[in-house]
Chains A and B, each alone.
Chain A
Amino acid sequence: MSATGSTPASVIEESLPQEGWPAAGEDVPPGIGPYRLAWRRLRRNKVALAFGGLFLVIVILCLLAPVYAKHVAHTGPNTENVDTALNQFGVPLGPTWHAKYFLGADNVGRDVAVRLLYGGRNSLEIGFEATLITIVLATLLGVLSGYFRGPLDGFISRAFEVIWPYPVYLLGIVLGVVLEISGLDLGLFKIGGSSLLITALVIGVIYTPYVGKAIRGQVLGLREREFIDAARQQGLGNMRIMYEEVLPNVASTIIVFIPLVLANAILTEAGLSFLGAGVRPPNPSWGTMISEGINLLPSAIHTMLVPGIMLVLCVLGINVFGDGVRDALDPRAKIRIDH
């Protein structure tokens, strides 16, 4: 490795010690905040933007599933069509690259492309819901426990420690099955057993300790810093301090976690569906499609390849974009995976 690899950071950044501030030699108009700065950096990162665009395109395509089904393929995701779509050996059609059966058919004659898009809707819906649940819960619990400490922190931290070791898929399967059988009845609202929300809930809760611990750690560190004392000294109540002082500082951590959690949630959902514990048949999900596709090897590879490639592209898009976001928020990329 060369002597220092890059310009000694400390040397040039003497007068700008804070994270998010203009990096050495960066030409920046005065008065620009750290988030605007990050946005500018992100805009310059063409690769990250390209992959973010890829993800966006996939999301839009999936949202347009009903439109595609109705106007292009003229068939639904669950419409079986054994007569026309399978040849005499019972092997489904491969990709025709025409409007009907654009990507081929599966073992009961359903249009793979249509199922792909509907499945994407399900997978993405669960992914987003789970991410929302995780981020909200983790932020709430992380901030509360880090800020107030004491018994509340003790309780929340113990809860994290206890939930976190469970094998993700096992717990997901178990809870999925349990809740599927009996649905979820919280008094306030009921969720039916086959609702996608169940899977989202399971995934969301399981990932909460991971993010929650990170946020808690950061809040603990923030607490020690003077500006919290300054705010309290001004007479601001705890709620206001948490909202106005703590939250904005934790925001960059949260922003970095969002793509991470989303990518993982989508992969976990795919895994659960693959194992039969996520989205229930006949509803499609990329995971279930891959599972069904494997059974059709070797004659109908496309049934497995199509959803698989789509899944990889989708998650890759999120990951590359997420990397770009992380680099933009702190060019020295200090955010690590700490326990």
Chain B
Amino acid sequence: MSRFIVRRLFSMLGVLFAISVLTFLLFNALPNPALRLAGRFASAAQIAHINHQWGFDKPVYIRYFTIMKLVFTGKVISYDQQVNVDHELLQYLPVTVSLAIGAGIIWLSTGILFGVLSAWRAGRWLDRGLTVLALIGVSMPVFFLGALMSYYLGDKWGILPAGGYVKLQDDPAQWFVHMLMPWFALSVLFIGVYSRVLRSTILDTVNDDYVRTARAKGLTERQTMTRHVLRNSLIPIVTLFGLDFAAVIGGGAILTETVFNLHGIGQYAAQSVEALDIPPVLVITLFGAFVVVIIGAFVDILYAYLDPRIRL
């Protein structure tokens, strides 16, 4: 097991490095990078300064290290906004994390619940109903759902605030109330996916030979279901969750944040792109990919812990 962990972490470092290189190359491919970085209002002097600071006057490999150093030591500046990108990022992070954690809890628990219910009553009305809901959930673009909720529940009927974010430390109750709709909108897609995956995994597992053995041993139906069927079926769900959660934190909630006007990382990225403000986009892209890879590595390790066959 420990060998597996070490190998996996090494592999993770390799991928992180590759991603940093690839991201670097992507941004390098922009024409007139210094001009782009400088933003629309730059002066010639500023451009020259950027050229130097970012290493555009140096060969590629030196440029790579220069830029990476800038990013990781927190010195990337958005010239357009005249702010330090990393500071901005830290400010926006709590919003995205709130969104991710809250939605994550909702979609994981609801997805599992619906999946189990569907499998339990497979073929009957409850299952069909849940499957219909799941299919609609999966087909519903989150920004459309969000817009509908924001308009009807928010503006029109005033049940919940239409958008915006209140800091947790400022007013927990308001924080919660403001997050309800975004949490729900973001969860819908995942609930749809997870309930169907779990349902099909459970239905497969129930036919597996070791479940038959469990019954043959004299276990009650409930014991068979919890100790063997669920235990095995939930493993793929756990890995899925880890990856999806990582993706949401890494900027995957961009649509939800935009619709509900939550100033999270995703929205920051969207606004930066619209303004053609490159430094934040560079940092966020890197950040997003890194989060997914790192969490992905831990998810793999968790999976190996849960399913010993993987450790080979």
Contact = CB atoms under 8 A, between A and B. Distances in A.
Are A and B close enough to touch in the complex, i.e. CB under 8 Å? yes
Interface string A285-309: 0010010011001100100100010
Interface string A153-173: 000001001110111111101
B159 interface: no
A274 B255 contact: yes
Interface in B30-82: 30-31
Nearest to A337: B197
Given A320-B135, A333-B203, A336-B200, A165 B255 contact: no
B200 A165 contact: no
Interface stretch (B14-22, B100-108, B167-175): B14-22
Given A181-B30, A332-B204, A333-B200, A275 B254 contact: yes
Interface stretch (B85-93, B177-185, B243-251): B243-251
Interface residues of B, number: 64
Given A158-B18, A170-B284, A298-B156, A9 B144 contact: no
B292 A165 contact: yes
Q: How many of chain A's residues touch chain B, expressed as a range? A: 35 or more
A125 interface: no
Contacts of B207: 8-10, 332
A269 to B, nearest CB: 10
A312 B144 contact: yes
Contact of B225 (A1, A263, A318): A1
Nearest to B146: A294
Given A4-B206, A158-B18, A304-B147, A167 B273 contact: no
Interface string B123-164: 000000000000110111111100110010001100000000
A5 interface: yes
B31 A167 contact: no
A9 B156 CA distance: 53
A323 interface: yes
B143 A290 contact: yes
Contacts of B30: 178, 181-182
B144 A169 contact: no
B312 interface: no
Given A162-B19, A290-B144, A290-B147, A5 B251 contact: no
A260 B17 CA distance: 31
B236 A338 contact: yes
Interface string B257-275: 0110000001001100110
A270 B204 CA distance: 34
Contacts of A312: 136, 139-141, 144
A254 interface: no
A134 to B, nearest CB: 18
Nearest to A313: B139
Nearest to B18: A162
Contacts of A339: 239, 243
Contact of B269 (A173, A323, A332): A173
Given A308-B148, A311-B141, A167 B285 contact: yes
B139 A271 contact: no
A290 B225 CA distance: 45
A65 interface: no
Contacts of A108: none
B10 to A, nearest CB: 13
A315 B140 CA distance: 8
Contact of B26 (A5, A178, A277): A178
A331 B22 CA distance: 42
A339 B292 CA distance: 14
B197 A162 contact: no
Contacts of A308: 141, 144, 147-148
B307 to A, nearest CB: 12
A196 interface: no
Given A161-B18, A167-B292, A275-B270, 10 more contacts: A161-B15, A166-B19, A168-B252, A177-B276, A271-B142, A276-B274, A304-B144, A308-B144, A332-B207, A337-B236
Interface of B: 14-15, 18-19, 22, 26, 29-31, 119-120, 122, 135-136, 138-144, 147-148, 151, 155-156, 197, 200-201, 203-204, 206-207, 209, 212, 215, 221, 225, 236, 239-240, 243, 247, 250-252, 254-255, 258-259, 266, 269-270, 273-274, 276, 281, 284-285, 288-289, 292-293, 296
Q: Sorted from nearest, which 3 A-B pairs have the closest CB atoms? A: A165-B292, A167-B288, A167-B251
30 contacts: A1-B119, A5-B122, A6-B122, A9-B207, A10-B209, A158-B18, A166-B292, A167-B285, A167-B292, A171-B285, A173-B273, A174-B273, A177-B273, A178-B30, A181-B30, A270-B141, A274-B258, A276-B273, A277-B273, A290-B143, A297-B155, A298-B155, A316-B135, A316-B136, A316-B139, A319-B135, A320-B135, A336-B236, A338-B236, A339-B243
